[in-house]
Amino acid sequence: MNTEEQIRSDLFALQDKAYRDFHSKLIPSVNPENIIGVRTPVLRKYAKQLSKTPQAEEYLKLLPHKYYDENNLHGFLIEDIKDYDAVITALDAFLPYVDNWATCDMMSPKFFQKHLPELLVKIREWITSDHTYTIRFGIGMLMKYYLDEAFSSEYPDMVAAVRSEEYYVNMMIAWYFATALTKQYDAVLPYLENHRLSRWTHNKAIQKAIESYRITAGQKVYLRSLKMK
């Protein structure tokens, strides 16, 4: 049994069919037949066990994968790489094969925190991609690592400049600005006041911000007044 067959066999041994049936409804872009149904904590534990083995190194070269769970495992294995250049190389090979929001959003290498200047260069490349989930991943990294101490007004500029007809790109833009409002309210508010986003994204960002407990009652009243008709 080769590495791919062994790992696939292991994943099916971890299958939860009830979870598969429920979760498949949340990721409509993935054929339900391509979902094994391994719960995320279980898959992360398996990835930890597999990480740093020769099999893991080989698995990262086996693209594309057949199953959604295999893609998630691939992403979790990338998270465990502790060399920046190797992480970027692995991501650049993998991102073109990501075909859903969940796999995209699950990946978040904590190692990036130590390499924010270099990562920013890469993010600029990702968000100008023509691939939906590469763009989404880039915006997600800006949201995760550059809204606190590393924040600069140029970053929401980068996100506001993204124009796409793709739902999963626009939803991430909205999510970025909603989160930014909770952390950098004064700096980010003008993007809504000056209508820097498309109408749908603008209104969705306001909706998601209003749902946050980190937005004050007064801020919520004002944000509602900014909704575009």
DSSP string, 158-185: HHHT---S-HHHHHHHHHHHHHHHHHSH
Mean pLDDT for 188-196 is 97
Predicted confidence band of residue 1 (pLDDT cuts 50, 70, 90): confident
Q: How far are the Cα atoms of 3, 36, 68, 102, 214 from residue 33, in angstroms, in the given order?
A: 22, 8, 9, 16, 39
Mean pLDDT for 222-228 is 96
Same domain, 14 and 69: yes
User: Is the whole-model pTM more than 0.85?
Assistant: yes
Same domain, 103 and 143: no
Predicted confidence band of residue 176 (pLDDT cuts 50, 70, 90): very high
In-domain check, residue 119:
no
Same domain, 179 and 211: yes
Q: Which domain holds residue 3?
A: 1-114
What was the pLDDT predicted at 110? 85
Predicted confidence band of residue 116 (pLDDT cuts 50, 70, 90): very high
The last residue of one of the domains, among 79, 114, 149, is: 114
Same domain, 56 and 140: no
Same domain, 103 and 181: no
What was the pLDDT predicted at 26? 94
Same domain, 99 and 146: no
In-domain check, residue 129:
no
What was the pLDDT predicted at 52? 82
| Number of structural domains in the chain | 2
Give yes or no for a cis peptide into 64 (omega within 30° of 0): yes
- Cα gap 140→142, rounded to integer Å: 5
Average pLDDT, the chain: 95
Same domain, 139 and 203: yes
Phi and psi torsions of 2, nearest 5°? -80, 175
The last residue of one of the domains, among 51, 85, 114, is: 114
**What token pair was written down for 154?**
């140029």
The last residue of one of the domains, among 53, 79, 114, is: 114
Same domain, 54 and 18: yes
What was the pLDDT predicted at 108? 86
